[in-house]
């Protein structure tokens, strides 16, 4: 089952140093900010970032969202003018997926840059592993664990990963 999504506002200004975004809520969506813990930010180039919210504050005519420290400051700087999207049913926001669903997904880092495409899956007993083929050639082998995989959206064909440097095994 896919969670329904709804636009809730537009980012009108950003403060990368504080990881804050100032949002103008859409009419009728103000109440959706009350218990907001996760939001999707749709950037101008159509890249969608899932960000965790640390705090929401009210200010006249807007909401100020403080993002968790896991969101890079340079990513926050790119959010001005972006659309904010939230799950209409928060309990259904976290989609589940099967290991086999990862095959063929585009792999993005937290800034939305393409790392490659999942081309092979390996079930290794203790931990499963994924092989990613880079756009310019070469492959990366990563464990399929929560420390690596930040988010998976099978419907969009995308997987977002955390910092992979400590886990990656690269081959030319």
Reported as a single tens digit per residue, the pLDDT across 81-127 is 999 988 544 433 445 778 888 999 999 888 788 899 999 999 876 77
Residue intervals in the chain for CATH 2.30.30.240 = 99-171
Assigned fold of 99-171: SH3 type barrels. (2.30.30)
Residue intervals in the chain for CATH 2.40.30.60 = 5-92
Range with top average pLDDT, 70-74, 93-97, 137-141? 137-141
Q: Which residue has better confidence, 45 or 93?
A: 45
Q: Is pLDDT of 22 > 60?
A: yes
CB atoms within 10 A of CB 111: 14
The continuous run of DSSP H or E covering 149 comes out as strand 149-153
Q: Is pLDDT of 10 > 60?
A: yes
Using CA atoms, how far apart are residues 148 and 113, in angstroms rounded to an integer?
16
Assigned fold of 5-92: Elongation Factor Tu (Ef-tu); domain 3 (2.40.30)
| Contact status, residue 154 vs residue 95, Cβ threshold 8 Å | yes
> In the structure, what pLDDT confidence band is assigned to residue 36 with cuts at 50, 70 and 90?
confident
Using CA atoms, how far apart are residues 84 and 15, in angstroms rounded to an integer?
16
């Amino acid at each position: 089952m896919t969670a329904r999504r709804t636009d809730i506002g537009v980012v009108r200004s950003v403060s990368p140093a504080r990881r804050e975004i100032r949002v103008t809520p859409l009419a009728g969506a103000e109440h959706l900010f009350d218990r907001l813990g996760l939001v999707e930010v749709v950037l101008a180039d159509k890249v969608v970032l899932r960000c965790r919210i640390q705090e929401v504050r009210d200010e006249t005519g807007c909401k100020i969202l403080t993002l968790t420290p896991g969101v890079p400051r340079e990513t926050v700087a790119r959010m001005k003018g972006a659309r904010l999207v939230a799950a209409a049913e928060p309990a259904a926001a976290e989609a589940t997926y099967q290991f086999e669903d990862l095959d063929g997904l585009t792999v993005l880092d937290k800034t939305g840059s393409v790392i490659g495409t999942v081309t092979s899956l390996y079930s290794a007993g203790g931990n499963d592993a994924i092989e990613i083929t880079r756009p310019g050639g070469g492959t990366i082998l990563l464990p399929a664990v929560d420390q690596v995989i930040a988010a998976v959206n099978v419907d969009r064909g995308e997987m977002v990963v955390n910092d992979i440097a400590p886990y990656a095994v690269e081959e030319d």
